[in-house]
Structure 1
Amino acid sequence: MKAYLKETKLLDFTAPSIQDLIISRGWNQLEEKEKIGAVYDFVRNEIKFGYNEKDDITASEVLRDGYGQCNTKSILLMALLRAVGIPCRIHGFFIDKKMQKGALTGFIYLFAPKKIVHAWTEVYFNNRWITLEGVIIDDKYLNQVKDRLCNFNKGYIGYGVSVEDKNKINTCWQGQNTYIQSFSITDDLGIFNSPDDFFSQYNNTSNKIKKFLFNVLRKKVNKKLNLIRNG
Structure 2
Amino acid sequence: MNHNLEQTQLLDYNHSTIQSLILSRNWASLPVKEQILHVYNYVRDEIEFGYNRSDNVQASEVLHDGYGQCNTKGILFMALLRALGIPCRIHGFTIHKQLQKGAMKGWYYHLSPKEIIHSWIEVLYNDRWLNIEGFILDLAYLTKLQQKFEQCTGSFCGYGVATDDFQNPAIFWNENDTYVQKEGIVQDFGTFDNPDQFFSLHPQKLNPIKRMIFSHLVRHLMNRNVRRIRRG
Helix, strand or coil at the partner of 2:57: coil
Query: 2:90–2:191: 8 Å Cα contact kept in structure 1?
Result: yes
* Code of the aligned partner of 1:4: N
Deviations 1:164-214 (A, max 9, x none): 121331311111000000001011011000000000011126521111111
Residue 22 of structure 1, CA deviation: 0.5
> Per the alignment, in what secondary structure is the counterpart of residue 156 of structure 2?
strand
Q: Secondary structure at the match of 1:94?
A: strand
Q: Does 1:131 align with 2:131?
A: yes
Greater displacement, 98-107 / 176-185 = 98-107
Residue by residue, what CA displacement relative to the aligned partner does 1:65-119 show, whole Å, maximum 9, x if unpaired? 1000000011000000000111000000011110110011112212211011000
| The 10-residue stretch of structure 1 (107-116 or 142-151) with the greater mean CA deviation from structure 2 | 142-151
Instruction: Find the residue that maps to 1:136 and give its secondary structure.
Output: coil
Structure 1 length normalisation: TM-score? 0.95
- In the TM superposition, residue 43 of structure 1 has moved relative to its aligned partner by 0.5
Q: Which amino acid aligns with 1:89?
A: R
Quote the sequence identity (%): 48
Q: Which amino acid aligns with 1:228?
A: I
Aligned with 2:90: secondary structure? strand
In the TM superposition, structure 1's runs of 4+ consecutive aligned residues that sit over 2 Å from their partners are: 146-152
Match runs of 1:109-128 below 5 Å:
109-128=109-128
**Cα pair 2:33 2:175 within 8 Å, conserved:** yes
Q: Secondary structure of 1:209's match?
A: helix
Q: Which residue of 1 aligns with 2:228?
A: 227
Report the residue type matching 1:96 in the other structure.
H
Matched with 1:176 is 176
* 2:97 is the alignment partner of 1:97: yes
State whether residues 161 and 181 of structure 2, in contact with CA within 8 Å, keep that contact through their aligned partners in structure 1.
yes
Separation of aligned partners in 2, 1:63 and 1:127:
29
Instruction: Judge conservation of contact 2:113–2:205 (CA < 8 Å) in 1.
Output: no
Write the letter of the residue equivalent to 2:186.
T
On the 8 A contact 1:149/1:157 being kept in 2, the answer is no
Root-mean-square deviation over aligned CA pairs: 1.7
SS at match of 2:211: helix
Shift of 1:151: 10
Contact 1:149 / 1:159 at 8 angstroms: preserved in 2? Answer: no
Q: Is 1:92–1:117's contact at 8 Å kept on the other side of the alignment?
A: yes
Amino acid at match of 1:84: L
Cα distance in structure 1, aligned partners of 2:209 and 2:147 = 35
Deviations 1:6-29 (A, max 9, x none): 000000000001001010000000
How far did residue 124 of structure 1 move? 0.4
The answer for the alignment partner of 1:67 in structure 2 is 67
Once the two structures are TM-superposed, the CA of residue 217 in structure 1 deviates from its matched residue by 2.3
Q: TM-score, normalised by structure 2?
A: 0.95
What residue is the counterpart of 1:142 in the other structure? 142
One-letter amino acid of the structure 2 residue matched with residue 188 of structure 1: D
Task: Say whether the 8 Å CA contact 2:116–2:205 is kept in structure 1.
Answer: no
Aligned partner of 1:203 in structure 2 is 203
The residue identity in structure 2 corresponding to 1:225 is: V
Contact 1:108–1:213 under 8 Å retained in 2? no
1:120-171 Cα offsets, whole Å, 9 max, x none, are 111000110001100101000001112556999x831110000012133131
CA distance in 2, matches of 1:2, 1:170: 30
